[in-house]
Structure 1
Amino acid sequence: MKILVTGGTGVVGQAAVSELTKRGHTVRLLSRNADQDSQQWPGGVESWPASVADAEPLRGSAEGCDLVLHVAGIASETPPDVTFENTNVGGTRNIVTEALRAKCGRLIYISSLGADTGNSAYHRSKARAEEIVRGFAGGWTILRPGNVYGPGDDVVSTLLTMVRTLPVIPVIGGGDDEFQPIWVEDLAKIIGETSERTDLHGKSLDLAGEEKTSMNDLLNRLITITGRNPQRIPVPSLLVSAGAALAGLAGIKMPITEEQLTMLREGNIVKIPGSNAVTGVFKLTPTPLDSGLRFLADEQPENLPGEGVGDLRRKLFWADIANSTLSAEDLFERFRTRFGELTPWHMDLEAEPGTPTTLEEGATLTMSLPLRGNIQVRVQELTSRSAVLGTLRGHPLAGAVRFLSEQRGDSLRFEVQAYDRASNPVDWLAMRTVGDTLQSQTWRSLVDAIVAESGGTAPDGVQGEEESLPPDQAERVEEWVRDLVMARKRGEERKTA
């Protein structure tokens, strides 16, 4: 079956595309940057660059498709360009029009739990979109998931980042309003099954995990996972809009918006006993919340260099080692397996319980930094003489660092190559004041430790240089890191196919 998927690059969309391709379906991915976005899957994914809010480029996107999966939507507005009206409502109208034009027989719409009863502007827009879907002449199904949490989601992942990195956490509206989240992989399985069932046509189905939670409860669970216990500061609900606006100017996400607060007050839960379709219709045992949160802790998305602010900086630190008792490969293997021991004392790689301290391909490493809390990197590429680590969401830097061991004539060179820019304006200021100095000291100390590990000497000591890259070179670095991330994702998709 060929399926057009809108919004295939968000938390839900990515998981849905992976599930559909595992089931043997061909996906046509519709997103603004579909040509790049589709590269994270090893095959079975076509691209159609477009926005659901713009009708003309959509024409032809559903041609030859058996089913349209409409995921694209927004949970908060950035007017005047991105609004609930032009995206959630108008975008749905555009997609339904295209599906009808292409004579596509089926449509699945991803709505939201509470869309039929909620009074928030977001829920009202979802309710209007549902009415448009019900006017579709073919077989339609509406899925209404509760808060979907997964790598990079706007609520739970943001709260996780705040617990890891901040000394204090704002708790809005008391923090005791209940909601009923669903793990993204559970929703993806349900989407996959719905795509293959015609008996669900004409149905609107509520979906949620089995456990109800709250902001305070989530904080308690995340504290157990991360080992950090930041102080909680109550924030009156009336200050949510102002606080979110100020945080946005600094490039910092808040764990809840005014719209989401309204939804929580209304009770974003399955209210009618027995109406949760996760167990009642799909017979799926939901992932326990604690298990999902532990998965989430190691699956945050990359902080790509192109997503940061300021100049892209390149820092190089190296030593040419004479009389090493180890070959380039053996020295790098020593570095790989003893990474946690060889890094300087202030990089605590045992900051969270059970996290790895050695370099393995695809592994997520968590470390504690002074004045910054816990941050993460992921091994994007690993060979016998090199490794590339990319920063993840919540890290003060958006970029990557490459470690390289190679023979150069009679000497053995160990080199650290760091390419990064600040993640947001606040981190830019921090890097310019103390962060740059600490970063340079860190890599120099590491190279020093490697020289000692080699059994040789570095007659010229540890050398270094740094510069801001011109736009053309910065673009090449951004593309290099992006390609590494996509290649790792393709490899993981192949393993799970």
Structure 2
Amino acid sequence: METLVVGGDGFVGRYLCAELVDRGHSVTSLSRSPDPEVLPDEVETVTGDVTDYDSIEGAFEGKDAAVNLTALPPLHQPRPGTFHDAVCIGGAMNAAHAASEHDVGQYVEMSSLGAGMDSPVAYWRTQGIGDMVVQYSDLDWVVLRPSFIFGEGSETFAFIKKYTTPYVTVLPDGGRYPTFQPIWVEDVARITADALVDAEHVGEIYDLGGPEVLTFGEVTRMLYRAAGKSVRILSVPMRLAEIGLYAFDPIPSIPFGIDQARALEMSNVTDHNDIDAFGLERSDLLSVGEYLGVEAGPQRTRERVASHG
């Protein structure tokens, strides 16, 4: 199957491209600044900016399937001149239109759990609108909405390491929020690959989560335990933290603002975990503790981690 992965050399994309190659797909990765070094040798790379239709349209020619993975990180402010609506809404429009123009057979839009037009957070609000764009297209679409995705290169892990310190750190409300359901990037990759080839998934929106619900503080402790360090979390009221962030929000050099604070107040847990639509159970998924080596897991899981580095 000729498959295009938009954002193919990003965090999720590089794992998805590898999964698709393993399954025998002929894979092309589209990104603004292609990085072949992070992709299997079999993957072809092309250059294009999802916010510029003319730059990506030709990449969809002759493709049987396509996945749009492009989005901006929810926990860091976008760099100056980059906006969630341009990427999550405009990008969804451009990718879906190009796929339609070239009669792409199966199309997967990677969204995120919590996406919705009424969300107070720009990331989820614009993704919700982008999802609607795809749903109203004439494509055979599938929308995937995972909770926070973890693994090598995880934005969530990077965020925690950047804004916390070992031994003693301060978190809004002591890290009791948000609650989320982290899902391993390779589990997301295999679910996405299944969604691309199984016609039974067409027209469905799937909320996806990992095997456990954790708080921000619990993940912080796990990360430091994995590094052989302890951490004591001190609490500051969320409202007090927001007041400080309102003061910094207009400053481009501060990568954390009020929109990111709102994201930290939101629960990101599935009402129903749709992994069962892909024949999976909680025991089939890798947990954060197993991934970090701070929690014992099934032997087959540990072997799976080792085999993927």
TM-score range, shorter chain: 0.7 to 0.9
Note if contact 2:73-2:155 (Cα within 8 Å) is conserved in structure 1.
Answer: no
Q: How far apart are residue 137 of structure 1 and its match? A: 1.1
Aligned to 1:222: 223
Give distance in 1, aligned partners of 2:65 and 2:176. 40
Aligned to 1:174: 174
Which moved further from structure 2: 152-161 or 181-190? 152-161
Aligned to 1:288: 287
Q: How many residues align?
A: 287
Give distance in 1, aligned partners of 2:216 and 2:110. 24
Q: Which secondary structure state, in structure 2, belongs to the residue aligned with residue 191 of structure 1? A: helix
Higher helix share: 2
Deviations 1:348-378 (A, max 9, x none): xxxxxxxxxxxxxxxxxxxxxxxxxxxxxxx
Aligned to 2:253: 249
Aligned-pair identity in percent equals 26
Q: State yes or no: 1:148 paired with 2:149.
A: yes
Give distance in 2, aligned partners of 1:161 and 1:87. 25
Note if contact 1:182-1:209 (Cα within 8 Å) is conserved in structure 2.
Answer: yes
Q: State yes or no: 1:82 paired with 2:91.
A: no
Gap change, CA 1:82 and 1:279, over 3 Å in 2? same
Give distance in 2, aligned partners of 1:224 and 1:242. 33
Q: State yes or no: 1:199 paired with 2:194.
A: no
Note if contact 2:110-2:143 (Cα within 8 Å) is conserved in structure 1.
Answer: yes
Aligned to 1:138: 139
Gap change, CA 1:85 and 1:270, over 3 Å in 2? same
What do you get for the CA RMSD once the two structures are aligned?
A: 2.7
Deviations 1:294-351 (A, max 9, x none): 39xxxxxxxxxxxxxxxxxxxxxxxxxxxxxxxxxxxxxxxxxxxxxxxxxxxxxxxx
* Aligned equivalent of 1:68, options 54, 66, 75: 66
Gap change, CA 1:289 and 1:95, over 3 Å in 2? same
Deviations 1:141-160 (A, max 9, x none): 00000011122222223324
Note if contact 1:147-1:182 (Cα within 8 Å) is conserved in structure 2.
Answer: yes
Gap change, CA 1:52 and 1:43, over 3 Å in 2? same
Note if contact 2:175-2:233 (Cα within 8 Å) is conserved in structure 1.
Answer: no
Higher strand share: 1
Note if contact 2:173-2:235 (Cα within 8 Å) is conserved in structure 1.
Answer: yes
Note if contact 2:17-2:40 (Cα within 8 Å) is conserved in structure 1.
Answer: no
Q: How far apart are residue 47 of structure 1 and its match? A: 1.3
Task: Name the aligned partner's letter for residue 153 of structure 1.
Answer: S
Note if contact 1:173-1:237 (Cα within 8 Å) is conserved in structure 2.
Answer: no
Q: State yes or no: 1:45 paired with 2:46.
A: no
Over alpha carbons, which structure has the higher Rg?
Answer: 1
Note if contact 2:3-2:64 (Cα within 8 Å) is conserved in structure 1.
Answer: yes
Q: How far apart are residue 223 of structure 1 and its match? A: 3.2
Choose between structure 1 and 2 for higher RCO, CA contacts under 8 A separated by at least 6 residues. 2
Aligned to 1:54: 52
Give distance in 2, aligned partners of 1:124 and 1:103. 28
Deviations 1:363-412 (A, max 9, x none): xxxxxxxxxxxxxxxxxxxxxxxxxxxxxxxxxxxxxxxxxxxxxxxxxx
Note if contact 1:52-1:95 (Cα within 8 Å) is conserved in structure 2.
Answer: yes
Unaligned 5+ runs, structure 1: 296-491
Q: How far apart are residue 205 of structure 1 and its match? A: 0.2
Q: How far apart are residue 46 of structure 1 and its match? A: 1.1
Note if contact 1:143-1:205 (Cα within 8 Å) is conserved in structure 2.
Answer: yes
Q: How far apart are residue 26 of structure 1 and its match? A: 1.2
Aligned to 1:24: 24
Gap change, CA 1:264 and 1:280, over 3 Å in 2? farther
* Aligned equivalent of 2:275, options 271, 275, 278: 278
Deviations 1:72-122 (A, max 9, x none): 111344365210111110011011111111121221000010113633221
Give distance in 2, aligned partners of 1:237 and 1:69. 38
Aligned to 1:232: 233
Note if contact 2:145-2:208 (Cα within 8 Å) is conserved in structure 1.
Answer: yes
Aligned to 1:325: none
Q: How far apart are residue 218 of structure 1 and its match? A: 1.4
Note if contact 1:51-1:58 (Cα within 8 Å) is conserved in structure 2.
Answer: yes
Give distance in 1, aligned partners of 2:250 and 2:234. 18
Task: Name the aligned partner's letter for residue 280 of structure 2.
Answer: K
Give distance in 1, aligned partners of 2:157 and 2:174. 17
Give distance in 2, aligned partners of 1:79 and 1:224. 32
Q: Which secondary structure state, in structure 2, belongs to the residue aligned with residue 104 of structure 1? A: coil
Give distance in 2, aligned partners of 1:72 and 1:208. 19
Give distance in 2, aligned partners of 1:261 and 1:191. 30
Give distance in 2, aligned partners of 1:152 and 1:172. 24
Q: Which secondary structure state, in structure 2, belongs to the residue aligned with residue 155 of structure 1? A: helix
Aligned to 1:97: 97
Gap change, CA 1:42 and 1:148, over 3 Å in 2? closer
Q: How far apart are residue 260 of structure 1 and its match? A: 4.2
Q: How far apart are residue 288 of structure 1 and its match? A: 2.0
Unaligned 5+ runs, structure 2: 295-305
Q: How far apart are residue 244 of structure 1 and its match? A: 7.6
Note if contact 2:60-2:98 (Cα within 8 Å) is conserved in structure 1.
Answer: yes
Q: Which secondary structure state, in structure 2, belongs to the residue aligned with residue 82 of structure 1? A: coil
Query: How do 1:476-491 and structure 2 match up within 5 A?
Result: none
Aligned to 2:299: none
Give distance in 1, aligned partners of 2:222 and 2:250. 28
Give distance in 1, aligned partners of 2:280 and 2:150. 20
Note if contact 1:118-1:263 (Cα within 8 Å) is conserved in structure 2.
Answer: no
Task: Name the aligned partner's letter for residue 197 of structure 1.
Answer: D
Note if contact 2:72-2:78 (Cα within 8 Å) is conserved in structure 1.
Answer: no
